[in-house]
Structure 1
């Protein structure tokens, strides 16, 4: 199997609460990426509902599998691709909602990741996840972090140590903090020797929350291979997974990471 493949990040504005319109727009951008040969496509956080829908979280939340994952599965089957995006998930316990990333392929739902580190008011909206799964797609091992979690290096490090070649970040990251996004997306790639695919929102919701865009694909050396500059856009880049192993030998952060000392330090906090 070739070590090279094309990956994509979708950058888009959303209509709050309007799944029909949001899925229609996402479909068009996904099809553009497919037309350029993308095999793995990442969508923004809560791309199907919009982000500032806190009054309607319970109404808009879905089971997984559910309508949106079925929709993603159909697109993946038709095009032979894998897609990642975040949705509001109804938990098994009534009244609990998660901000959940879904990984979907030609065979349907591959798995899920529930956001662990919640941003500000998200702590009153969502229940925290607990696990850091890595999904083996055959051509790559993919880990997921969501938006704000780009600033928590521990999550990406755990995924890297558990075998991830690529970590994706479906996001609704604010424009006011793009300086953090710029540094963190490159840092997570460099310090773990892996590819980062960061898909972000654009637009403004409720007249006060403006999203920053700057969706990007970053290589294991921390170099930005592609970056979005428009409101509704997709970016595609070829990645070479052989570079993951080479970079981890060039700067051996993972080899030299002293887990026992770090765990001892954390236990004393």
Structure 2
């Protein structure tokens, strides 16, 4: 049976405090790796903080400029522990900004996913992504396919299903989900797992930040959770900093999809026809 230990790090990044945030991220990531995790997930905008609207361009990572990248310490940890790290930051590419999740490996940046469905004021901050890539993570005796979504996107069943149809076994959602809509976080994360027959890693942050746009504090929900393909919560954190570390039995994905055949029975031809009939 193929098994992989995965950890989700929940902590409270501070606005604009990149150095302090990186110290925290490295501390918690190293702790997870020392516990045997081979995949570690960090929350959305872990290095800059979420409420940094007026400094997005300044804080954006340009991978073409190695001096600007804060990913280097995490890549080094990937090399030392032979693991994968999912790190979500502001990406700067040709003066355009994206909310981007990077997959880091011992060889560097394996790939990236740019957030497609932007929430609220994010529409003014970032450009939309255009692709749904599925990434293959290679281990000694097996491979695992993962798909990514970011925060608000956990509410879009179409995205999760599309990734699952491409072979994704684990769906990973780095997030900065607020307390005000934590009921959505709780319900949608389990629904995405059940309907797609995937493990879901709902990797939220905790704490709070002051938003100049809203002129108030945003309280983040925490409640990071790892969910099995049946939609059952394997492990969940509360509202404070910590690590959720679970060994995933990957064969359970195939077993659940054979038991509950949502993906197999989905009429893709009809779906295409229905979507084409809708006005854009």
Report TM bin, short chain: over 0.9
Find out whether 1:128 has 2:128 as its counterpart: yes
Q: Is the 8 Å Cα contact of residues 11 and 213 (structure 1) preserved in structure 2? A: yes
Unaligned runs of 5+ in 1: none
Query: Conserved in 1, the CA contact under 8 Å of 2:6 and 2:247?
Result: yes
Q: What is the rounded CA distance, in whole Å, between the counterparts of 1:188 and 1:153 in structure 2?
A: 6
2:175 to 144, 147, 171: 171
C-alpha distance in 2 between matches for 1:227 and 1:64:
33
- Deviations 1:21-70, CA, capped at 9 Å, x for gaps: 00111111112211221110110000000000000000000113641222
Give the structure 1 partner of residue 184 of structure 2: 180
> What is the DSSP-based 3-state SS (H/G/I as helix, E as strand, rest coil) of the residue aligned with 2:46?
coil
| Runs of at least 5 residues in structure 2 that lack an aligned partner in the other structure | 211-215
- For 1:104, the equivalent position in structure 2 comes to 104
Number of aligned pairs?
266
Match of 2:163 in 1: 159
SS at match of 1:234: strand
**TM, length-normalised to structure 2:** 0.93
1:68 is paired with a residue whose SS is coil
2:73 corresponds to = 71
1:213 to 222, 230, 235: 222
Matched with 2:275 is 266
Conserved? CA contact 1:69–1:102, under 8 Å: no
| Equivalence for 2:263 | 254
Q: Is the 8 A contact 1:193 1:244 kept in 2?
A: yes
State the shift of 1:233 in Å: 0.6
1:238 CA displacement: 0.8
Q: Does 1:229 align with 2:238?
A: yes
Secondary structure in 1 matching 2:71: helix
RMSD: 1.1
The 8 Å contact of residues 141 and 165 in structure 1, kept in 2 or not, is answered as yes
SS in 2 for 1:45: coil
Q: Aligned partners of 1:90, 1:9: CA distance in 2, in Å?
A: 25
Paired position in structure 2 for 1:240 = 249
Q: How far apart are 1:244 and its partner, in Å?
A: 0.4
Shift, 1:71, TM fit: 2.3
- 1:230 Cα deviation after fit: 4.1
Match of 1:33 in 2: 32
Is 1:142 matched up with 2:141?
Answer: no
Check conservation: 2:221, 2:239, Cα contact below 8 A. Answer: no
Q: Distance in 2 between matches of 1:162 and 1:64?
A: 27
Alignment correspondent of 2:213: none
**TM-score normalised by structure 1 residue count:** 0.96
